[in-house]
Structure 1
Amino acid sequence: MVKKDKIRGIDLIRFLSTPKTLQEISAEFGRPESEMEAYLEKRGKLRSYNLFVHRNDSQKLIYVYDKEKRNELIIKPRVWTYRKHEELPYLWISFPNNLNFKKIILAPISDAHYGSLAHISKKFDDYLNWIARSNNVFGFLVGDEVENCHADSPPGAIFEQMMRPKDQIISFRKKLAPLAHKILFGVPGNHEGRGTKKTDIDPLYFGICEPLGIPYFDEPVFVDILWKTYVFTMYCRHGSGNAQTKGGKINKALQALDFQEHIMFNIMGHVHDPMLDDTPRICRERNFDEDGNLESFRLVHKKQYTIICPSFLSYFGSYGARMGFSPPNTNITTCEIYPNGKYHATS
């Protein structure tokens, strides 16, 4: 037995990367078994490695170090804060006034259908990378993010997936984690609703948004974005319906304007056909002085942008092509807000 001058932790970790008996450990480090046993008892953890003591088939004690399993989801700190209403789907998002961007771009992430055979992975990855690397770009989830087909889905749908639903959720969460601090909120689509209806488990909430700390609503959400003392308003829902014409799709999206006050951005997904409509609303405007006295009043036309989000599904090889639906365009639609209170939408 050759005694080593000093036992280094790294040497012990390397030697015990596979299970060893006390006899083997004693021979390796040149110390009596009793001494090595006492030594190991004091070193249940070395660096980020934990010591496990088990027994082999001969009932001899065996020792092995294994690297501590840490949470792989490391979420970067946000530059924005949020406040949710306790009972209603109402969200405030506040950007600090010292955030001196020329504009902030709000980019919808809708209808990714991650896990589908028709999912356009390169386009989707490029889009996420653009959000992640652009300081002034922030995303929000509009639903149908995972394909999530199961036995009760439309006939044959389970064969249109490249992976099982649980693997879709895990993989999508890992993909979104590096930019989770830039995702403002999420709402579900009908593909997430499949899980909710059958199991009372919403995969977008439990599998993605909750672990990543993304504010989540299980219904359409009313959003106020606060920046440079201005309030920018948004209404966001996944949408519904089976409209196939351009007019039918935009009319479905415009329905949300019927039951609420002026909103700057009316967002919908679901129909996989990006569109942009600018429907103004006539609003009363009153101006008061510092003492609360009325100075002027007038009627103004305020812009309202209705945005239908694009999907990340290819046309050929998808159910849309087989059904003979018209191919959608592939434009990206975004919302833009400016430090002077102006706002715009692009497609």
Structure 2
Amino acid sequence: MEADGKRHIIHGSRTDEFTIWNIADIHWMSRACAEGKVKEDIQRIADDPYSFWMGGGDYCEFIGHTDRRFDPDSVAPWVSVKDLGNLGKAGMEAIRDMFRPIRHKCLGLIIGNHEKQYELKKEHDGLHGWLCAELEVRNLEYCALFDLAFSRRGKVKNPKLVQGAPSKINGGGSMVFRIFGHHGAGYAQTPGGKLNKLIQFMQSFEADIYFAGHVHDRVGRREPTIGANAACDKLEAHERLGIISGSYLKTYAQGVTTYGEQRGYRPVSLGASWVRIKPHTRAMAAEV
């Protein structure tokens, strides 16, 4: 697990509202990957100056020809035989090129179980680290906590992400949100089972916002708590917000028999989930 410090988003107005995306479970190179939806969401982030994002892992399918799960019919038609001979390099280069236009908006990249298992089985340690270095973004490993500070400054037209402490210029102060990110875990197929893992994260780690993935569903959860002020003479309510991000891997796709179809899994809602934040009021809302 990583305690990964603080990032600042420098912005200009107390009325600003931000969207923090969790792009996870893309499974690029799979024939069942909703490639158009991936590109659409990346373009939305690129076009919106108030959108920022983190990566939630499982960016590539990474099931090669020596893997017992390998099915040639499930490989994207554009993947060459040469690519299969060097799957890690081909996959990560494709993801690097895909994320490059929005790397300046990235809060960090989590590694998923597909990348992790490929690194272990192929003795290719550092593949995820290479991707982070190429994009010049933070490596969050499998699980991380970090602070996201929204720092208001007077003459800022478009928000800007700054790693570490920003330069000291006059402004309206900062509002800090602690974020917990995990690729996700478990094999639950029911809505309640998937939600239980998110609740477990929210009960185990101290944060304001929780991002998870892995179970290929879009779920949001609020956890209210009651406390008191510093003098303990007034009750205060606090809320934590958690989301499970959706997948870009179709359970059922035309012309291919997927692993999910063979297992009888439910169809999934495609695309990312995100959180909307109004820093000045600390208002948070999940978009699933």
TM-score, normalization by structure 1: 0.67
Quick check: 1:333 aligned with 2:273?
Answer: yes
2:3 and 2:225 map into 1 onto residues whose CA distance is 23
Q: Structure 1 residues 202 and 284 mapped into 2: Cα distance closer, same or farther (>3 Å)?
A: farther
1:1-347 aligned within 5 A = 88-98=2-12, 102-151=16-65, 153-157=67-71, 160-162=74-76, 163=79, 164=84, 165=87, 166-198=89-121, 199-206=123-130, 208-228=131-151, 229-261=174-206, 263-286=207-230, 294=231, 297-317=233-253, 318-330=258-270, 332-340=272-280, 341-347=282-288
- What percentage of residue pairs aligned between the two structures are identical? 24
Task: Give the conservation status (yes or no) of the 8 Å contact 1:112–1:311.
Answer: yes
1:304 maps to amino acid: R
Q: Structure 1 residues 225 and 153 mapped into 2: Cα distance closer, same or farther (>3 Å)?
A: same
Task: Give the conservation status (yes or no) of the 8 Å contact 1:153–1:194.
Answer: no
Superposition deviation, residue 112 in structure 1: 0.6
Task: Give the conservation status (yes or no) of the 8 Å contact 1:310–1:330.
Answer: yes
Superposition deviation, residue 118 in structure 1: 0.6
1:131 and 1:230 map into 2 onto residues whose CA distance is 22
Task: Give the conservation status (yes or no) of the 8 Å contact 2:251–2:265.
Answer: no
2:222 and 2:70 map into 1 onto residues whose CA distance is 39
Superposition deviation, residue 331 in structure 1: 6.2
Higher relative contact order (CA 8 A, sep 6+): 2
Which residue is 1:73 aligned to? none
2:244 and 2:35 map into 1 onto residues whose CA distance is 21
Unaligned runs of 5+ in 2: 152-173
Superposition deviation, residue 283 in structure 1: 3.0
Q: Structure 1 residues 103 and 175 mapped into 2: Cα distance closer, same or farther (>3 Å)?
A: same
Number of residue pairs the alignment of both structures matches: 251
Q: Which moved more, 1:96-105 or 1:236-245?
A: 96-105
1:245 and 1:217 map into 2 onto residues whose CA distance is 28
2:54 maps to amino acid: F
TM-score, normalization by structure 2: 0.80
2:117 and 2:15 map into 1 onto residues whose CA distance is 40
Superposition deviation, residue 270 in structure 1: 0.2
1:148 and 1:297 map into 2 onto residues whose CA distance is 56
Query: Which protein is richer in strand relative to its size?
Result: 2
2:143 and 2:68 map into 1 onto residues whose CA distance is 25
Unaligned runs of 5+ in 1: 1-86, 287-293
Superposed CA deviations along residues 279-314 of structure 1, whole A, max 9, x for unmatched, are 21233322xxxxxxx4x6333331111201011112
Task: Give the conservation status (yes or no) of the 8 Å contact 2:250–2:267.
Answer: no
Radius of gyration: which is bigger? 1
1:179 and 1:220 map into 2 onto residues whose CA distance is 22
1:120 maps to amino acid: A
Superposition deviation, residue 273 in structure 1: 0.7
The alignment's C-alpha RMSD in Å is 2.1
Which residue is 1:79 aligned to? none
Q: Structure 1 residues 321 and 101 mapped into 2: Cα distance closer, same or farther (>3 Å)?
A: farther
Task: Give the conservation status (yes or no) of the 8 Å contact 2:112–2:142.
Answer: no
Structure 1 residue matching 2:237: 3-state secondary structure: strand
Task: Give the conservation status (yes or no) of the 8 Å contact 1:192–1:202.
Answer: no
2:108 and 2:99 map into 1 onto residues whose CA distance is 13
Structure 2 residue matching 1:192: 3-state secondary structure: helix
1:303 maps to amino acid: E
Task: Give the conservation status (yes or no) of the 8 Å contact 2:247–2:271.
Answer: no
